[in-house]
Amino acid sequence: MDDAAHDLSRRSLIKGAGLGLGLLAAAPAPAAGHPAASGPIWSAEYWAKKGDVSLNLFRKRAGRPQAGEPPRPVLFLVHGSSISARPSFDLAVPGSGTEYSLMNVFGAWGFDVWTLDHEGYGRSSRTDGNSDIASGVEDLKAAVEVVARATGRTRLHFYGGSSGRVDRLILEAFTFTGKGSPTLTKRREGLEYFRTHHRRPRDRDMIRSIFTRDKPGTSDPAVAEALADAELPFGDSIPTGTYLDMTANLPVVDPARVQAPVLLVRGEHDGIATEEDLLDFYRRLPNADRQFVVLAGASHAVALGHTRNQLWHVMRAFLEMPARDTHTS
């Protein structure tokens, strides 16, 4: 997707089995979890307040919520550094004839799927702030209050990042220390700009580069054009905060404090982090229900690339796997 749910898996913040490692070349069978929901995909828009900042939330699920129905598992999607929420997770690619909306897929699988435009992105308030990772945490704190009221769920699954109340956490295109990352090495050339400006330019060519900078051919060029068409109406600049954090402040995550089960997914050719860096993070995670999957043939833009179906099935299997029985007699 963008260099983000992705770059720090945008707010890959604070916040599996055997060694839990694998190189995945083909989609696994779906997990036998809760049954898929029925009915057409329903959507709604919500708003959260973070002080004076208005934050736009978007929700999709199969069928309109009905009084008295049991709550569905909630999957909250956290967008990246360069692209807002709906283009990232609910993209339509004209003429492709294939599904690119992660929200549609997981809605049909029985999840209640939510996402959020962070401060300064998409439909949310544009402010003088740089929307760094700490700001993103506060965005998520405000958002989960809205989600909890609407769904009755107090524990959520997160894709990309966490703000507490985490049931299971998926970090895709994540970076830990940034050591050896070719993408971040190049990006550090702009460090002084990120320190002195709260927004950076973002045009169609930059959006195209998200799909080509690691390994051309790992996605359909039409996807980059559709993403640019969906995102550029929000303007030709975005906040610098996550770029500053990635180039000057890593690591921002202490893996020892991540108590939730974690799925760590890396594209084989992703330049945002080395495999060694991610394995270092993975080995420090305290929860035994952790998994590290490398998607063969994928680059940074896993969620909108040719391997997105594999990603979706890996995510579903992780979210629906039975919790480890830690009871000992």
pLDDT of residue 32: 46
Burial classification of residue 287, based on how many CB atoms lie within 10 Å of its CB (0-12 exposed, 13-18 middle, 19 or more buried): middle
pLDDT of residue 116: 97
d(CA 193, CA 323): 45
pLDDT of residue 167: 83
Between the alpha carbon of residue 151 and those of residues 110, 115, 120, 302, the distances in Å are: 13, 14, 26, 29
pLDDT of residue 35: 59
The DSSP string of 49-77 is: EETTEEEEEEEEEES---TTPPPPPEEEE
d(CA 251, CA 154): 29
Per-residue pLDDT of the chain (329 residues; tens, 9 = 90+): 444 334 434 333 323 333 455 555 443 444 445 556 778 999 999 999 999 999 999 999 999 999 999 999 999 999 999 999 999 999 999 999 999 999 999 999 999 999 999 999 999 999 999 999 999 999 999 999 999 999 999 899 999 843 445 789 999 989 999 999 999 999 999 999 999 999 999 999 999 999 999 999 999 999 999 999 999 999 999 999 999 999 999 999 999 999 999 999 999 999 999 999 999 999 999 999 999 999 999 999 999 999 999 999 999 999 999 877 554 43
Bridge partners (DSSP) of residue 48 are 55
d(CA 269, CA 297): 7
No. of helices (H) and no. of strands (E), the chain: 10, 11
The two three-digit tokens of residue 274, written as one number? 């080395």
Between the alpha carbon of residue 268 and those of residues 109, 123, 298, the distances in Å are: 27, 33, 5
Reduce the DSSP state of residue 168 to 3 states and report it: strand
Q: Which amino acid is at 145?
A: E
Burial classification of residue 224, based on how many CB atoms lie within 10 Å of its CB (0-12 exposed, 13-18 middle, 19 or more buried): buried
Give Cα 71 to chain centroid, integer Å. 23
pLDDT of residue 162: 39
pLDDT of residue 246: 94
pLDDT of residue 137: 93
